[in-house]
Structure 1
Amino acid sequence: MVRVWDLVVRSFHWALVLSFVTAWLTDHTSEEIHHWAGYAAAGLVTMRLLWGVIGTPYARFSQFVRGPATVLHYLGAILSGREARYLGHNPAGGAMVIVLIVAMGLTALTGWLMTTDAYFGVPWVETTHSLVAHGLLLLVFFHIGGVALASFRHRENLVRAMVTGRKRKAEQTDVA
């Protein structure tokens, strides 16, 4: 076993899960908790953006963010059942990380805007917040499905890896 995801990445991941679930569940029941969960998400996203530049090797965006052609090629390999195992995030997972961060950031931003004098009650801000939040939920389901598929195909528990930070070491055909 080798250490892949550091404590910052793992803590960010699970804290973001907690803040999103909290915000989702308190949307119509507790405005104060909903707002604080959103502020927590915004802070976490900001921290992750910084850590993606200065963090440990597998935390850096330069390690796992790939171009659209690479992502599409990887998705095609998934469909044919021939995708490579990556020690860090695979190209589809890396793309999902970016899309989730952007969607979470946009959800937090529009939520905050709704609390300001300038944008309180502005329909397009409320609509955008609702659409992005619902889209984020859909993305979360895709993310969970991708994690389940990769865990099954590569015979490793990625949820456990996001708790412990460890994955089995790269084999000859894996991408380190």
Structure 2
Amino acid sequence: MGRDKRNEKRGEHFTKLVRNMMEEPAWRALSSTAQALYPWLKLEWRGPQANNNGRISLSVRQAAERQGVARNTVANAFRELQAKGFIAVTKPPKLGESGVATSPLFELTEISLPTAHGDSGRRLYKQWSEGADFPVVKAPTHNPKGTNGKEKPRHQNDDSTVLEFAPEKKKAAQK
């Protein structure tokens, strides 16, 4: 029995979730949003012949649109997947000088990297235990404190009056 070519003609794309992974305590500790996000990330993987693991890109906006939830909800799901060891950030997000942002690049720890010679990935989620989350790579802030020596101009809240009426009378009254 050969492969069914009908699905390839329609351009359908699928991924599989392995039951052993889904029975791990780390998977059970994920929220339903994070569990629903993982297949979307895995769909970005191009397969073993064109292995792009470690360079998988899915932005928060794209994921929120695909799942039909708010961006903050998806951002939390990305952090959960990192903390439980299902994904690892290989290149953090950044905002370029021209204002064009790049989304982070991810590694699915269940799949081997293209440079690794092996059948399985690091599978960090197997090492996870309650209260021992993996470090989460967060998007860098856009220089709010001037870490490169440049202080950004920002409005200072001042509750003083903007206009002084009759400043001569005020000065006379203070004497």
TM-score normalized by the length of structure 1: 0.24
Identify the structure with bigger relative contact order (alpha carbons < 8 Å, sequence gap 6+).
1
Structure number with higher strand proportion? 2
TM-score normalized by the length of structure 2: 0.24
Structure number with higher helix proportion? 1
